[in-house]
Structure 1
Amino acid sequence: MDPLPRSNRGNFHVVVGGVEMGARGDGVVLCQVLLLLSIMAWVVLSSTLGLTRKIRSLVRPWISRRVDAETSLILSIQRWQHAFLDAFFSAICCVVSVPFYKVFLPLLFWSEHRRLARQMTLLMAFCVYIGNSVKDMASAPRPRSPPVRRVTATKEEEDNATTYGLPSSHALNTVCLSGFLLHYMAVNGLHKDGIYLAMATFLAVLLVLLIGFGRVYLGMHSIIDVLAGTCLGIVILILWIYVHAYVDEFLVSGHDVIPYWAGLSLLLCFAYPTPESFTPSFEYHTAFNGVVFGIVMGVQQSLGSGTTDISLQVLAGRTILGLPVILLAKLCSKALAKWLLPILCTTLSVPARSFCYVPGLINPKDNGKTGSSQSGYVNVDTGIRFAQYAGLAWSVIHLAPPVYSLFGF
């Protein structure tokens, strides 16, 4: 049943490659400690030695030359421009966008595929963090527009166009999430017929190719951006397939999960590289970082177990009732954080700044750009953004189910 009973939490029994890994997870604990120490070491070294700037000075010139060299090829592709192709590739790219997964992932939980939902959420957060960290570390440009025609059909695409280019987040996310979904289907026997699995594999490969070509056609990325995103996605996918069972077992059955994840979330914020100029990439990471922490809190506090026999009518009812609940939880979490964090900073005599959420802490010279914060100040917007998405994710698991259960769903 999912999740495990409280009495069994702490006893690790993970099956990897057909071999049961027992004991009490001593190796897993060691890996957790090493992970925290590695992140702390990166924070110290990058701040004292300026590693981010040094790495950027090495890779950015080469990437920029490659992007400029590919301009003629992108223009050749865009000679086939058509309104239908613009709409088609814009729609395809929306299917693998972050807003899509903000709706898709709650549906996985409410359809009782909780294990898959947990793992997909963690993987998505991992992809967002790694992809955006590499983007901001390299600070490599997108194709120049003009001469390249850039199509931004949605507000999200307009925001994406303000971030750096390499790697393509759409290519990275598509490879990781479609690849892991195929792995999950194969391992759990969801499609025992090989024909269905082969068809699913074909569709996943086709989607990756369409997304990659679409990002170039829309003028959002160069070919090297797409190749880098694809290769990085393959590496992350292989790593995640190997470790996901251990991570999920720790979330469901481990001890001190919430304090550990709180510390990890805080360290990841400090470890994030500073870009050459402001982009919203760090905000994307903060949002998904909060989502994962909310999922962790929800899993640890939830004692229920679900079935997999859910009809479309039941899922539709849960969605209609659940979406207002999680949106309300997000608003309440945001309001609470906006009130509490400035008071906490004042009480502790910590200088604080806000760039959009708390009018009394906004400095007009900052122009609303998070990246322009002055050293020595705490950016309360990061904590507010983290809190509101943590509240949203927690409510998906812990608050919405009692509500739709009252109505027989």
Structure 2
Amino acid sequence: MAKLKKFFHLSDPEYTAKFQRLCGVYLNYQSDQPSEGSLENENNSCTVRKRIGLQDCRKNNIIENQNHQNESHDTVFRTPKSEADRIWKHLSMFQKSLFYILTCASSLGNEAFYLLFYPYVAWNMDSVVVRHTNVVWTLCMYAGQAAKDYLIWPRPTSPPVVRLETDFLQEYAMPSTHAMSATAIPFMLAYSIIHRYDISPVFVISIAICWCLLVCLSRLYLGVHSVLDLLCGVIASLIIILLTVPYMKEYDMFQQSHPIAPLVVFGISLALSTVCYPNAKDGSPYTAKADAVQIVAVSAGVTLGTWINYQFGFTVDKGQVFQAQIVIPTITMMAESLLRFVIGIVILGALYSVMKKSSVHFFSYVFNLEKPNKKHPSVEIGYKFVTYYVLGFAIIFLIPYIHFLLGLGRTAYFNEVQ
């Protein structure tokens, strides 16, 4: 019991604040005497400063109330651009480098990264690796998003934590889906690459560990997660990886070859997005459901694209065990890869814009709204599912097919069965 209490004690925001202070980021909390009737002065003032021997940066921050019921006492602190610029001028090269490294590391768990990384690997490297990684990533991310809305665990309070990022504060904290993604993606990539290519396992696993560690530390640095949030995210992802890896090849063949695989996966994805999504313990509104819907919709679209490739004879199973060496690309290969990527991303962007606009209008009409409203809960779920389902399909089937029509197709793409 004592060990269990010590484990849960890792949720203490002071651990996050200590790591920030170690990196030179501080938040000093002070009480000002509020003037009578002044709403602005009902909030306590704060000072954000860096451990660089400079004068304190006095408070002139934007203060916003949290949207969460259980976080109504907490506030979001942002340093205005003018203040940030003034501090930035006095930062050492090491501190600037640390900020850039950890901010970039945090972006490895964002939607923009997924929509750039997965397509690039599929179109230019190995689609099997993408399919296998996508399955585990989907399970991990859905479990994480659903757990957030069920557990309604608040983010570390500020103070003592300095919140350097405010993009995801509308979501709850437990577990960290950045940590889950940073475990699922690199370690599944490592597993698939080691089994498909002649490459040093130590080298690949070392990269995976560094990837995971940097993302986790970035969430502490930015002040949006506790140590416990991160630890639970990593452990949960490792468990899911261990449970799914033994059945990965069987599932991949199922989604390619079974006559009703797209219908089965579509039905499951639709159920997970609606009736199966867990309700919060206290009835709090969903904060992460929209992201969960995007994730399962993309995966369902990937299944449809994979199935069409196989069923219509685009994918040819040569019955050979894949084992190849990684070669250094030539200038021509890099130019073709870049061209494939640019063309593909332009198509994805156009599809996203068209599908989002049309589906918002469609679902707004279905739910009898006076005008299109993408923020309406039912409309949001509907348009996100349809839009990201189409994007997943396009990444695996439509865009690679267009690449071949343009004479830019990667030769091995339609031979990558397993």
Question: Which stretch of the first structure deviates more once superposed, 308-317 or 211-220?
Answer: 308-317
Q: Which runs of 5+ in 2 are unaligned?
A: 25-94, 317-321, 409-418
Structure 2 residue aligned with 1:285, among 292, 301, 323? 292
3-state SS of paired residue (1:384): helix
Shift of 1:325: 1.3
* Offset at residue 67 of structure 1 (A): 6.1
SS in 2 for 1:271: coil
| Structure 2 counterpart of 1:4 | none
Task: Output the CA distance in 2 between the equivalents of 1:362 and 1:338.
Answer: 7
Tell me what 2:302 maps to. 295
Normalising by structure 2, what TM-score? 0.69
- 1:316 corresponding residue in structure 2: 338
Flag the structure with larger Rg.
2
* Structure-2 residue corresponding to 1:260: 264
Aligned equivalents of 2:343, 2:215: Cα separation in 1? 33
Alignment of 1:77 onto 2:19: yes
- TM-score, scaled relative to structure 1: 0.70
Is the 1:337–1:383 contact (alpha carbons within 8 Å) kept by the matching residues of 2?
A: yes
- The structure showing larger relative contact order (alpha-carbon pairs under 8 Å, at least 6 residues apart) is 1
1:283-311 superposed Cα distances (whole Å, 9 cap, x missing partner):
11111222112112212222323899982
Cα distance in 2 for residues equivalent to 1:103 and 1:63? 40
- Cα deviation per residue 1:156-201 (whole Å; 9 max; x = unaligned)? xx3322211111111111112211111112222341xxxx321221
1:177 is aligned to 2:185: yes
Q: Is the 8 A contact 1:251 1:257 kept in 2?
A: yes
Is the Cα contact below 8 Å between 1:63 and 1:140 reproduced in 2? no
Alignment partner, residue 244 of structure 1: 248
Q: CA deviation at 1:388?
A: 0.9
2:9 pairs with 60, 66, 77, which one? 66
Matched, 1:274 2:279: yes
User: What amino acid sits opposite 1:360 in the alignment?
Assistant: K
For residues 33-92 of structure 1, the C-alpha deviation after alignment (integer angstroms, 9 at most, x for no partner) is xxxxxxxxxxxxxxxxxxxxxxxxxxxxx8997366x23332222223244433321111
In the alignment, the residues of structure 2 paired with residue 333 and residue 185 of structure 1 have an alpha-carbon distance, to the nearest angstrom, of 34
Instruction: Encode CA deviations 1:239-266: one digit per residue, 9 max, x unaligned.
Output: 1212211211111111211221121012
Report deviation, 1:405: 2.7
Distance, in Å, in 2 between the alignment partners of 1:369 and 1:315 is: 40
8 Å contact from structure 1 (residues 265, 289) kept in 2: yes
What do you get for the CA RMSD once the two structures are aligned?
Answer: 2.7
Q: Distance in 1 between matches of 2:402 and 2:376?
A: 39
The more displaced of 223-232 and 293-302 is 293-302
One-letter amino acid of the structure 1 residue matched with residue 182 of structure 2: T
Q: What's the CA shift for 1:279?
A: 4.8
CA distance in 2 between counterparts of 1:322 and 1:221 reads 35
How far apart, CA to CA, are the structure 1 residues paired with 2:362 and 2:17? 51
Residues 301-345 of structure 1 deviation map (CA, whole Å, 9 limit, x = unaligned): 2232389998222211111211111222222323442344455x4
Letter in 2 for 1:252: Q
Displacement over 6 Å in runs of 4+? 62-65, 306-310
Task: Tell me how many residue pairs correspond in the alignment.
Answer: 315
Task: Please name the residue that 1:105 is paired with.
Answer: 118
CA contact (8 A) 1:294 1:394 kept: yes
Among 204, 213, 218, the alignment partner of 2:217 is 213
List gaps (5 residues or longer) in structure 1. Answer: 1-61, 153-157, 346-351, 371-378
- C-alpha displacement at 1:359, in angstroms? 5.6
Q: Which amino acid aligns with 1:385?
A: K
Q: Deviations over 1:192-237 (max 9, x none)?
A: xxxx321221222233223222222221111111111111111011
Does the alignment pair 1:120 with 2:141?
Answer: no
CA distance in 1, matches of 2:405, 2:261: 30
For residue 164 of structure 1, give the secondary structure of its aligned residue in structure 2: coil
1:25 is matched with none
Letter in 2 for 1:164: Y
What fraction of aligned residue pairs are identical, expressed as a percent? 22
Partner of 2:416: none
Q: Is contact 1:64–1:141 with CA below 8 Å preserved after alignment?
A: no
- Return the alpha-carbon distance in structure 1 between the equivalents of residues 123 and 211 of structure 2: 26
Q: 1:304 to 1:63 in 2, by over 3 A?
A: farther
Give yes or no for contact 1:162–1:279 (8 Å, CA) kept in 2.
no
